[in-house]
């Protein structure tokens, strides 16, 4: 059931998006001392169908053992390898305002293989401030900082107006993966990956589902109303 880490695999984006969920559940099981897990149990923990889970894991070359399921540690390692988490990813954050500070202060990234190595902000008042052991530098220091310890992932947490310029500078020095929090659509060369995080979009999607649920709850009443808009009991009462 083991996968060759050296093989470059074509994994569908939807599967890649579910792999961190599988990994999170496997880490929880490992913490509880669980050694093996069936596809049904793991699927239930993540909230997907077991057929979906088996199909996702088959993309990693991981098929489990009939009657035993998957070894928790082995599967966690395979997923970590597929996601590139068995290597260290140096991260730089540009824009050390409210969001930048919150991201830089979060210690959980390190355990997942993301090491924050550089913090940049052009505000003179922030220069030299140390967050989790890393000093904030002016953004013009990027090329020198990158030459010293190459940055793999650039996180943009500046206002939208500055985002494209910041992105261009990151790309110029050779950063090929960008996580953009600014509400701006960035244009990048084909070999650069940009992921945009937008809490407003997520909230809007939640609002849509909440509204759908509320409308669904009203439907039986609406359906029971006649063309005069009254329910049968209201009609009888008059
Ligand atoms: N994606 C989300 O869900 C989400 C949530 C909150 C905020 N945001 C966005 O994240 C960004 C930051 O939000 P915030 O509340 O931390 O803002 P903020 O104003 O507190 O911080 C922005 C920081 O960027 C710095 N900055 C501006 N231009 C710069 C440049 N060219 N180079 C280096 N540093 C520069 C500023 O000095 C400031 O410290 C905004 O674009 C905001 O809209 C996104």
Closest listed residue to residue 175, CA positions, set 117, 113, 102, 222: 117
In this structure, the residue with its CA closest to atom 19 of ligand 1 is: 97
pLDDT surpasses 70 at 62: yes
Residues 97, 192: one domain? yes
Pair 15, 56: CB distance under 8 Å: yes
Residue-level pLDDT at 3:
43
Among 27, 58, 83, where does a domain finish?
83
Residues 158 and 216 occupy one common structural domain: no
Give me the number of domains the chain comprises: 3
> Is residue 18 located within the same domain as residue 49?
yes
- Establish if 5 belongs to a structural domain: no
Residue 100 known to bind ligand: yes
Using pLDDT thresholds of 50, 70 and 90, give the confidence band for residue 154: very high
Residue 3 included in any domain? no
Query: pLDDT tens digits, residue range 90-130?
Result: 999 999 999 999 999 997 787 778 899 999 999 999 999 99
Residue to substitute in 97, 139, 167 for testing ligand 1 pocket (most ligand atoms within 8 angstroms of CB): 97
Average confidence (pLDDT) over 31-42:
93
Q: What is the CATH number of the domain that holds 20?
A: 1.10.10.10
Q: Report pLDDT for 22.
A: 95
Residue 7 counted as domain residue: no
Distance 200 CA to ligand 1 centre (A): 15
Atom of ligand 1 nearest to the CA of 102: 16
Q: Are residues 210 and 187 in the same domain?
A: no
Query: Is residue 157 situated within a structural domain?
Result: yes
Q: Please choose, from the candidates 169, 38, 205, the residue with its C-alpha nearest in 3D space to the C-alpha of residue 95.
A: 169
Confidence of residue 220 (pLDDT cuts 50, 70, 90): low
More confident residue, 108 or 194: 194
On whether residue 2 sits in a domain, the answer given is no
pLDDT of the residue at 228: 57
User: Is the pLDDT reported for residue 20 higher than 80?
Assistant: yes
As a whole number of angstroms, the distance between CA 208 and CA 232 comes to 31
Q: Which residues of 170-202 are buried (b: 16+ CB within 10 A; e: fewer)?
A: bbebebebbbbbbebebebeeebebebeeeeee
pLDDT at 232 over 70: no
| 170 and 229 both lie in a single domain | no
Q: Identify whether 94 is part of a domain.
A: yes
Residue 231 has pLDDT above 60, yes or no: no
74 and 139 together in one domain: no
Q: Three-class SS string for 70-127?
A: EEHHHHHHHHHHHHCCCCCEEEEEECCCHHHHHHHHCCHHHHCCEEEEEEECCCHHHC
Report, as an integer, the average pLDDT of 34-54.
93
* Residue ranges making up the domain that contains 231: 200-237
ipTM: 0.97
Is 4 part of any domain?
Answer: no
**CA distances to 129, 140, 230 from 119, in Å:** 10, 12, 63
Same domain, 100 and 160: yes
Does ligand 1 lie within 6 Å of residue 96's CB atom? yes
- Is any atom of ligand 1 closer than 6 Å to the C-beta of 198? yes
Question: Model confidence at 84, in pLDDT bands (50, 70, 90)?
Answer: confident
The answer to whether position 8 is within a domain reads no
Residues 58 and 30 occupy one common structural domain: yes
The residue ranking higher by pLDDT, 186 or 9, is: 186
Task: Give me the CATH number covering residue 94.
Answer: 3.40.50.720
Kindly state whether residues 172 and 226 are assigned to the same domain. no
Nearest CA, atom 36, ligand 1: 95
180 annotated to a ligand binding site: no
Average pLDDT of the segment spanning 201-220:
84
- Locate 189 and state its tokens: 């060369």
């Amino acid at each position: 059931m083991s996968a060759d880490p050296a093989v470059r695999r074509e994994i569908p984006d939807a599967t890649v998006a579910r792999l961190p969920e599988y990994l999170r559940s496997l880490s929880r099981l490992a913490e509880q001392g669980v050694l093996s897990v069936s596809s049904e149990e793991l699927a239930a923990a993540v909230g997907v169908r077991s057929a979906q889970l088996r199909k996702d894991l088959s993309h990693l070359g991981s098929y489990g053992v009939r009657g035993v399921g998957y070894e928790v540690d082995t599967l966690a390692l395979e997923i970590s390898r597929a996601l590139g988490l068995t290597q260290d990813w140096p991260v730089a954050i540009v824009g050390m305002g409210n969001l930048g500070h919150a991201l830089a202060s979060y210690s959980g990234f390190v355990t997942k293989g993301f090491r924050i190595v550089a913090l940049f902000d052009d505000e003179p008042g922030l220069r030299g401030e140390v967050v989790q052991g890393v000093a904030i530098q002016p953004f013009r220091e990027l090329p020198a900082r990158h030459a010293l310890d190459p940055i793999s992932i650039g996180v943009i947490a500046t206002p939208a107006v500055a985002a494209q310029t910041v992105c261009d500078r990151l790309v110029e020095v050779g950063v090929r993966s960008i996580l953009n929090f600014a509400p701006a659509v960035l244009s990048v060369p084909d070999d650069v990956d940009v992921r945009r995080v937008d809490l407003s979009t997520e909230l809007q999607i939640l609002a849509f589902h909440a509204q759908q649920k509320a409308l669904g709850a009203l439907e039986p009443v609406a359906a029971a109303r006649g063309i005069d808009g009254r329910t049968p009991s209201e009609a009888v009462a008059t």
